[in-house]
Amino acid sequence: MRKTTKKVLSASLIATLAVSMMACGSKDTSNSDSKADAQTKEDGTTSSDSKDNAKSDVEKPSKITVMCDGTVMTEDNGRAQFESALEAALGLDIQFIQPDHSSYSDVLQQTITGGEWPDVVIIPATYYQSYAKQGVLWDMSDAWENSDLKASGRVDERFVDCLYIDDEDIKGLFGMSATRGNGCVTYVKQQWLDDCGIAEVPTTYDEYIDMLRKFKEVKGTYAVSAAGLISKEAPYTNYLPEFYQDAYPDFYEKDGKYVDGFTEDAMKEALQRLQDAYTEGLIDPTAVTNKTSDCRTKFYDDQFGVFTYWAGTWANNLSTNLEANGKNGDIVAMKPIKELGKYVERQSPVWAITTQCKNPEGVYKYFFETMLDGGEVQTLWTYGVKGVHWDTKAETVTWGDKSKDYAEGEFHMLPSLEDSTKLFAKNHIDSTIVIDTWVDSDPGAKSIPEVSQKSAEVFNENSVIANVAVSNDIIAQNSGDIWTCRANIVAEVVTGSMTVEEGMAKYEKEVGDLVEDCLKSLNK
């Protein structure tokens, strides 16, 4: 009988770790066309036999425990089948522990505090450096440097170098990701543009505001919404980028000295733009309390027309859900307006091996490297299981009120087990932002919806990696109070309870001393 995978229930919120992310390195290693030492099957995947031969110098673990969030295929969408296929491909036992996605960070912290750690965990970028400094994470520097994966030349090493930590406390590589961080682009409903007689999406802030005003006038509702007026995690401003522009409301290095971006003129000007638009009724009046799920529901219900959300796969999700609600699913991914310049790419969540793992080298070799093998296992992590989530046989596939005929050998996605009115989109890896190239070719490339490809291209070509969110003991001690104050002031200023000047005065009065202590600790 198949083993039962654990499901951890939601936990109460507990103390948040210090905000921390690491700087990206400048080393740029281009991808090559080198092939992995693997036998290619007819369906484009690779045999695990040749991979096992290449790994013979490393002890193979018999079991790997993995704690992951909802970015890995969930139980409702066929995780049991994925787990079985992965175990068969690797020839070992995989035990997934998957808390509810919304409470993952809290459950992870609770698990770490409890003292019994799984072999592998997904770490949100915000907590990566903090966990490494606590001694929770194994340094995989040597494993990566000596790996077949690195030697293959298929990996864009910028997105590995980005994760090296180099400070006075620790140095090393304590985590890796299969994908780049990704970020948000601004989507505009084509139907709203047509209804308002707007031929092109805006390229400047003035054009952007004019579009919002026209939407409100013609459609009789607010034009833009967001999950909060400021995000809880770096890059903080990614849900309302046209208003924030070059503002960065956290500590960052400027001209060789750390400053508090929240008090700079760029932030004051951003708050004024937000307040003006909110007062004019262009921004959702409940944006301050919205969750992302609230925004998506309102977007599908046609309550607003401009939504800044994740690039790539989510573009197709937004489009298909609009259609499922009887709306026009055409959406346009805007290039960043002139005053914004670039969208901001977050640091990616990382896979890490805990220091309690008894065979970290084996786990790295058989879990981490295979995830990017460019063949059989990468296909599982990207598209799921053949016959369950995708197939290549000749058949007619029906989802909701749609259907399509496929020829023998034509790769295609199957209806989602979670919702048969939609096609399965992806497993953990989004192929539009994966950091490696395939050994031969991406087997599902032609199945990626055009709207997803276009939004990913817009983002990848017009983005920069987020500023480093620095961390030390002083910041760890004070960041919670400082960020609570920042969020409250943003809400009060934008909704008109106080002026920008009054907000800044309140900030200085409530946390000015804490901010000064943090800056002194950074600039000593």
What confidence tens digit (pLDDT) does each residue in 187-207 have?
A: 999 999 999 999 999 999 999
Do both 286 and 339 map to the same domain? yes
Bigger pLDDT: 232 or 401? 401
Do both 475 and 356 map to the same domain? no
Q: What is the mean pLDDT of the chain?
A: 89
Do both 327 and 366 map to the same domain? no
- Low-confidence winner among 33-42, 242-251, 378-387, 427-436 (lowest mean pLDDT): 33-42
Q: Are strands 184-189 and 331-333 parallel, antiparallel or unpaired?
A: antiparallel
Bigger pLDDT: 40 or 179? 179
Q: Is position 398 within any domain?
A: yes
Q: Is position 303 within any domain?
A: yes
**Which residue is associated with the tokens 């369906």?**
43
Do both 213 and 322 map to the same domain? yes
Per-residue model confidence (pLDDT) at position 470: 74
Do both 282 and 166 map to the same domain? no
Q: Is the pLDDT of residue 32 over 90?
A: no
Q: What is the CATH number of the domain that holds 118?
A: 3.40.190.10
Per-residue model confidence (pLDDT) at position 10: 33
Domains contained in the chain, number: 3
Do both 339 and 218 map to the same domain? yes
- What mean pLDDT do residues 445-455 have? 92
pLDDT band of residue 54 (cuts 50, 70, 90) is very low
Residue whose C-alpha is closest to residue 144's, from 345, 348, 351? 351
- Low-confidence winner among 8-12, 64-68, 128-132 (lowest mean pLDDT): 8-12
Do both 205 and 336 map to the same domain? yes
Per-residue model confidence (pLDDT) at position 47: 39
Q: Is the pLDDT of residue 111 over 90?
A: yes
* Residue 368 DSSP symbol: I
Per-residue model confidence (pLDDT) at position 127: 86
Q: Concatenated DSSP letters for 200-231?
A: S--SSHHHHHHHHHHHHHHHSS-SEE-SSSS-
Q: Is position 235 within any domain?
A: yes
Do both 397 and 355 map to the same domain? no
Bigger pLDDT: 347 or 12? 347
Residue 154 tokens read as 């298929």
- Low-confidence winner among 35-49, 217-231, 357-371, 405-419 (lowest mean pLDDT): 35-49
Q: Is position 66 within any domain?
A: yes
User: Distances in Å between the alpha carbon of 61 and those of 115, 141, 376?
Assistant: 22, 20, 20
Q: Is position 218 within any domain?
A: yes
Per-residue model confidence (pLDDT) at position 44: 38
- What mean pLDDT do residues 63-91 have? 97
**What is the reported pTM?**
0.76
330 burial level (CB within 10 Å; 0-12, 13-18, 19+):
middle
Per-residue model confidence (pLDDT) at position 187: 98
Do both 122 and 213 map to the same domain? no
pLDDT band of residue 31 (cuts 50, 70, 90) is very low
Q: Is position 423 within any domain?
A: no
Q: Is the pLDDT of residue 135 over 70?
A: yes
What confidence tens digit (pLDDT) does each residue in 283-329 have?
A: 999 999 999 999 999 999 999 999 999 999 899 999 999 999 999 99
Do both 150 and 241 map to the same domain? no
Per-residue model confidence (pLDDT) at position 18: 34
Do both 310 and 411 map to the same domain? no
The range of the structural domain enclosing residue 90 comes to 41-51+59-180+348-380
Q: Is position 2 within any domain?
A: no
pLDDT band of residue 383 (cuts 50, 70, 90) is very high
Do both 367 and 404 map to the same domain? no
Q: Is position 226 within any domain?
A: yes
Q: Is the pLDDT of residue 66 over 70?
A: yes
